[in-house]
Amino acid sequence: MNENKTSNLDSVLGRLVVEHGLTTPEELQECLELQRQKLSEEGSNGAPLGDLLVEGGLITERQLKRISPLAEEVGKGQQIPGYRIKRRLGAGAMAAVYMAKQLSLDRVVAIKILPRKYTNNEQYIARFYAEGKAAARLNHPNIVQAIDVGKSGDYHFFVMEYVEGRTVGDDLTRHGRYSEKDALKVVIQVAKALDHAHKAGFIHRDVKPKNIMITADGEAKLADMGLARAESDREAAEAEQGKAYGTPYYISPEQIRGEIDVDFRADIYGLGCTFYHMVTGQVPFEGPNPSAVMHQHLKAELMPPDHLNNELSSGVCEVIEVCMAKSPDKRYNSSGDLLEDLEAVAAGKPPQEARKKFDIASIAALDDTAHSGAAPAWAAVSGTVPLTAQPVFWTAVLGWAVAAIVLILVIIMATAAN
């Protein structure tokens, strides 16, 4: 470790031990003075600050082991000009996210940093910048706002709004499920976010509980545009053809098949899966592995949500089932239509758009029955004749009555002639 790197790490470590209340600024200053003295001594290379803090009894070995990795991570972030890393918030498959302070505006932000192992991977870098650009094009209170994206040294970074709160996934882990009323509040806000994104020409492609943040004030914010794509980006669609991008529990059938024409209706499916999970406490489909789960999305019949939670209204169940139709054509025609139904159900009214979809499906089923030559559904119900069938029915009755009268007249005339 070179002298500059050691000095930077010690500087970060010193700040962190004070911020975490492990030592006072005065005690830290005494250790720094001692470190300088050792460094100036002839034949000495100095001593790491951590060792001096332990030797002085200011922190324990265990505390040093816990805080050293954080100091190294924060040290990486210090290479991003204008920001001071505070702590790590979490990490995903592609990047780690840190809380930081934007020095110019004195505000807290979140910074996503691409690991150095991906710095030579053109595909990862392209997707990372695509996320930043997609988020920057969207300006909506229910979408986590992008602030900056760029590169500093060996690190690619994406700065975004910091949301202090929890995710819907956190709530489901702690409480099992949402009440219908609370779920509707969140889902309506996410539908508004999606409507804004879809009108701007973007599809999210990874709507799920962990990507929905809930602030302390109860505001929902759609996060993580890592899989977002402009719907018009044909080149990206062709490059991804045949590959399943998404999260198995919430992925749409067309995404599983890697279709080239995936559109906004994939987000509607993902939100339907999320809504289902929120009000039932269970994911729509389960399996021993991701492939098995995705096969269920493609082939298995959905367990109606009210079979798992009999307190749900029929309106909520209808909305979820239309969102989660296997065929995109049987889902909502737009996120705006979905939003209208959600707001109607929240107000105690029926979901008109969902019922239109059910009516169309029923007509199509009757049409298929007619073409197959099978008996219509009403024929199986004893003593019941639908209004649309009544004219045919009474015409047949009248025909038989006329035939009977003619037959009787013929018999009478024949008898009189004899």
Catalytic residues: 206
Q: How many CA within 13 A on the CB side of residue 109? A: 26
Residue 382: which residues within 8 A CB-CB, separation 6 or more?
Answer: none
| Tokens found for residue 49 | 């600050």
**Bridge partners of residue 85, in order along the sequence:** 100
Q: Say if residues 353 and 341 touch (Cβ distance below 8 Å).
A: yes
Residue environment code for 280-318, b if the CB has 16+ CB neighbours within 10 A, otherwise e = bebbbbebeeeeebbebbeeeebeebbeebeebbebbbb
Burial of 128 (C-beta count, 10 Å sphere; 0-12/13-18/19+): buried
Instruction: Describe the strand order of the beta sheet including 83-91 as a list of residue ranges.
Output: 83-91, 96-102, 107-114, 155-161, 146-152
DSSP state letter for 59: S
The tokens for 89 are: 């918030």
Rg (CA), the chain: 33
**The amino acid at 168:** V
